[in-house]
Amino acid sequence: MGGVWSQLVGQPDAVEVLSAAAQSGARLVDGTGTAAGMTHAWLFTGPPGSGRSVAARAFAAALQCTAGQEVPGCGECQGCHTAMGGTHADVRMVVPEGLTISVSEMRALVQTSARRPTGGRWQVVIITDADRLTEGAANALLKAVEEPPPRTVFLLCAPSDHPDDVSVTIRSRCRRIALRTPAADAISEVLRLRDGIDADTANWAASVCGGHVGRARRLATDPAARDRREKVLKIPLQLRRMTDVFDAAGELVKAAEADATEVSETRDEAEKDALRTAMGHGGTGKGTASASRGSAGAIKELEKRQKSRATRTKRDVLDLALVDLAGFYRDVLVVHAGSNTTLNHPDHADSAARAAQNWSPESALRRLEAVLGCREALEQNVKPQIAIEAMVAVLYSG
């Protein structure tokens, strides 16, 4: 299926359900049908890279599509273009820049969602990381989901429908769309056809990305991303002395800090400049002096949000490195078992084989558990340096 649905890689079942719901929504808007197949709250779940937010945005575009009931989500009309581009007046996308979504942020969003859609179709709210809702924010959202305005649709994205990710009360009021990890062939095809990447690079990136479409694209197009991955995957066989433990831990943390700084520097300064201008800095007219004095609080609040965003970026980079490490130790266990299962890192099969010769299955499993434990520690806000050093010490000792 083409149009906006072509953005969903390897998800035919989800596309079928969502396109049918969009058709029902179009008939409801046109007054030619009922709401059968359409509901006011949806929960998109699936592993990282499966396309949860992409599916939600494509569905939002299909609901705003003006091409008619037969082909909602044509990808050509203004409704589809603006919804997919993030500029549609009736589609709001919540992407948390910090570690959580606050209650104040959610209350403001709920108030906005209660308005009538300006285009006469649907008011759509997409929450890309619903698992980051605080308890208060979840309660504020629950009230809106329980008593939704007639033309408002909430699209929530989360890793799973487990209570640790989405509260039971919110989950029970949503229709669930379960996405799966896309096959390597499907990822390779989209890299070649949509991104113009040569076949060899596309096939390699698809084979090592762990089913994460965005990761595959970064690996195929960004030499720095490929270099970071190589450095991470060299760690297991480079831990020969205790000093290597601290060197490896320091390298991981420094790389994450460098990435966070690179992402933040340009964006942070641009945001501060825009805020200062909006608050009257540099102006000469009447009242600009008092406006400038009053901007200190707003700038301080902005800096707080930027610091939180940098912290999240750093932890996201570290988590990506840990996922690669976990994949390596899983490959070692696969080699031990003599299985024909596809490796996570087929281009490092020789390293996995050497590790399997030197480590027992129990030792490889302890190392894998240390990596997974480090991920959990970072989620619990343990200081990255401490969590990484504790992990690497286990990787060294086995």
DSSP 18: H
Q: Which residues contact 157 (CB under 8 A, 6 or more apart)?
A: 43, 44, 45, 52, 53, 56, 126, 127, 128, 129, 130
Residue 286 confidence class, pLDDT cut points 50, 70, 90: low
Strand runs labelled E in the chain:
41-45, 91-94, 123-127, 152-158, 175-178
Residue 256: predicted pLDDT: 80
Residue 285: predicted pLDDT: 53
Q: What percent of the chain has pLDDT over 90?
A: 43
Q: How far is CA 243 from CA 69, 238, 250, 318, 393, in A?
A: 65, 11, 11, 21, 10
Residue 291 has pLDDT above 60, yes or no: no
Q: What are phi and psi of 177, to 5 degrees?
A: -115, 110
CA distance 241 to 260: 29
Q: What is the mean pLDDT of the segment spanning 366-374? A: 95
Residue 216 confidence class, pLDDT cut points 50, 70, 90: very high
Residue 18: predicted pLDDT: 93
Work out the mean pLDDT of the chain and round it to a whole number: 86
Mean pLDDT check: name the lowest of 131-145, 255-269, 313-327. 255-269
Residue 125: predicted pLDDT: 93
CA distance 69 to 64: 11
Residue 361 has pLDDT above 70, yes or no: yes
Structure tokens at 190: 């989209």
CB count, 10 Å around CB of 296?
Answer: 10
Residue 290 has pLDDT above 60, yes or no: no
3-class DSSP state for residue 154? strand
Please spell the DSSP secondary structure of 263-289, one letter per residue: HHHHHHHHHHHHHHHHTTTT--STTHH
93: left (phi over 0), alpha (psi -120 to 50) or beta: beta
Q: How far is CA 88 from CA 91, 119, 314, in A?
A: 5, 9, 31
Question: In this predicted model, what pLDDT tens digit does every residue of 31-84 receive, in sequence order?
Answer: 776 666 789 999 999 988 888 999 999 999 999 998 766 778 888 889 999 999
Is 281 buried (19+), middle (13-18) or exposed (0-12) by CB count in 10 A? Answer: middle
Mean pLDDT check: name the lowest of 177-181, 207-211, 260-264, 372-376. 260-264
Residue 72: predicted pLDDT: 84
Residue 2: predicted pLDDT: 72
User: Is 128 within 8 Å of 93 (Cβ atoms)?
Assistant: yes
Q: What is the pTM of this model?
A: 0.77
Mean pLDDT check: name the lowest of 99-108, 127-136, 156-165, 366-375. 99-108
Q: What is the mean pLDDT of the segment spanning 221-234? A: 90
Residue 357 confidence class, pLDDT cut points 50, 70, 90: very high
Question: In this predicted model, what pLDDT tens digit does every residue of 156-204 receive, in sequence order?
Answer: 999 998 988 999 999 999 999 999 988 899 999 989 988 899 999 999 9
Residue 377: predicted pLDDT: 92
SS (H, E, C) 74-103: CCCCHHHHHHHHCCCCCEEEECCCCCCECH
Mean pLDDT check: name the lowest of 70-74, 295-299, 386-390. 295-299
Q: Which residues contact 298 (CB under 8 A, 6 or more apart)?
A: 275, 279
Q: Which residues contact 211 (CB under 8 A, 6 or more apart)?
A: 47, 49, 50, 181, 182, 183, 184, 187
Residue 251: predicted pLDDT: 86
Residue 392 confidence class, pLDDT cut points 50, 70, 90: very high
Residue 69: predicted pLDDT: 61
CB count, 10 Å around CB of 244?
Answer: 15
User: Is 72 within 8 Å of 23 (Cβ atoms)?
Assistant: yes
